Amino acid sequence: MKASVIIPFFKGNKYMPKMLDMLNKNYILVKNHNMEMEVIIVNDSPTIKIEIDMDHINFPITVINNLHNVGIHKTRVNGLNNSHGDVILFLDQDDMISDNTLLSQMTNLGDADFVVCNGYLQNADGRKKEIFQNLNHQRCSLNLNFHYGYGNPIISPGQVLIRKAVIPEEWKTHFFQNNGADDHYLWLLLLEKKKIGKINTEKLYTHVMTGNNTSLDLDTMCKSNQELVALLHGKVDYKRLYMLKRRTLYYGSHPERILTKLRFWDVGLFKRYYSRMKRKS
C-alpha cells in the first residue's frame, strides 16, 4: 500500500521544518513495514517560494505551484490529481501528527474505504482536549443522521485516511467559493454513497486552534454551509437536508439572541436529540 500525503501551502514556511520532520518519522515506520509514502505540497501562494531543506528529506516529495490563489478545496484536489498513492491523507500546513499516524491508519483501514482516528484540539496556549470524548462520540463520525442533525464531528481531514478510488467525482469537480464546508461535503458524500468507514481509537492527530481557523469565522462558515445546502438540494433525503438548512440559518442569524433561539426552536431540539449519541452508554 502507498500513501499520498497532500498538504495545501499558504504563506506557511514557518510550519515546514516541523511538518517535514514529522513526515520523516512517519516514513521510517511505513517503510519498515513494507509500505510506501509520498508527499505532495501544493503552493496556493505562488508568489512565495516554499523553503524545503531537501538534504534532510528521505521520502519522495513533489511541489506544485498553483498559477494563482484558488482556495483550499481546489488546492487539495490539485494535489489529489497529481498523487500516485492508494490511500490519501489531507493535512493542513499547521497540523501535528504522531510518529505512527500513517502506519496506524494504514493498518487499521483493513478492507474499509476510510478510517477516522482520534486526536486532540490544542489551544494557542498549549492546552489540549480530546476530539472524541468517548467511543460513542467517535462512532458519530460514521453516523449520517448525526452529521445532518448535530454537526460535523470530524474536526479536520487530517483525522481521516481515505482510499483514493472512493473519493467522489462530485467533490473533485465542484469547488467551494467559501472555505469551510468542503471537508464536510466529502464526509457526507462518502456516507450517502454507503462507503464503509472504520474508527481508530488511537490519538494520532492534533488540530492547533490558532484563532485564524476558518471554522472559527462564523460568517465565512455560514456562507460555505449555504453552498453545501445548495449542492445537496434534491440529491439527499429532504428531512436530513432540512435539519442542515435550519442549522445553517440559525448560526447565520445571531444565535446568541433569545428571539433567534425561539425562531429556530427546532434546531435546539435536533441538537439535544442527537447529542445523546455522544454520551457514554
In tens, the pLDDT along 77-103 reads 999 999 999 999 999 999 999 999 999
> Which grid cell sits at 32?
519498515
Amino acid letter for position 36 = E
pTM for this entry = 0.93
Q: What is the pLDDT of residues 215-260, one digit of tens each?
A: 457 788 899 999 999 999 999 999 999 999 999 999 988 888 999 9
Q: What is the pLDDT of residues 195-215, one digit of tens each?
A: 999 999 999 999 988 755 544
Lowest mean pLDDT among 11-20, 97-106, 142-151, 270-279: 270-279
CA Rg, the chain, in Å?
Answer: 19
pLDDT tier at 280, thresholds 50, 70, 90: low
Instruction: Name 64's Cβ contacts closer than 8 Å, sequence gap at least 6.
Output: 40, 41, 42, 43, 78, 79, 82
Euclidean distance between CA atoms 227 and 205, whole angstroms: 28
**pLDDT score recorded for residue 42:** 98
**Does residue 280 sit in helix, strand or coil?**
coil
The DSSP code for 59 is S
pLDDT tier at 55, thresholds 50, 70, 90: confident
**pLDDT score recorded for residue 257:** 93
Instruction: Name 78's Cβ contacts closer than 8 Å, sequence gap at least 6.
Output: 42, 64, 66, 70
CATH 2.40.50.100, domain 2-215, yes or no? no
Q: What is the pLDDT of residues 118-176, one digit of tens each?
A: 999 999 888 999 999 999 999 999 999 999 999 999 999 999 999 999 999 999 999 99
For the chain, what are the domain ranges?
Answer: 2-215
Euclidean distance between CA atoms 246 and 129, whole angstroms: 29
Whole-number percent of the chain with pLDDT over 70:
97
